[in-house]
Amino acid sequence: MFLASDGNLAAIDFVASQQAAAAIAGRSFDANRFFCVEGELIQFAGKTYAFTNQWGQQTPKAIDDLIAAFPDAKISCRESEQL
């Protein structure tokens, strides 16, 4: 559900890091499939993480687990009003 890159990266640097890693592995990286713009990335313990926006049945539980595990981070999530 997450992608990670080393370092506390800005969005543009995170995307570049993921594109480079994907190219090395012979695949592509589609930034539109992750929450990876400024304000959406998670930085923790020297890494930057992006959460997938391709939700499945386990996604709500994963979000609830994050909220419970990091109460001081003030993580929030709400359903989009878009269809």
Structure tokens at 55: 């939700």
In a domain, 34, yes or no: yes
In a domain, 27, yes or no: yes
3-state secondary structure of 62: helix
In a domain, 44, yes or no: yes
Domain count, the chain: 1
Give the domain extent around 29.
2-56
Backbone phi, then psi, for 49, in 5-degree steps?
-120, 145
What is the residue-level pLDDT of the chain in tens, covering all 83 positions?
899 999 999 999 999 999 999 999 999 999 999 999 999 999 999 999 999 999 888 888 988 998 899 889 888 887 777 75
What whole-number distance in Å separates Cα of residue 14 and Cα of residue 21?
Answer: 11
Which residue, chain included where needed, has tokens 């539980």? 61
pLDDT at 83: 59
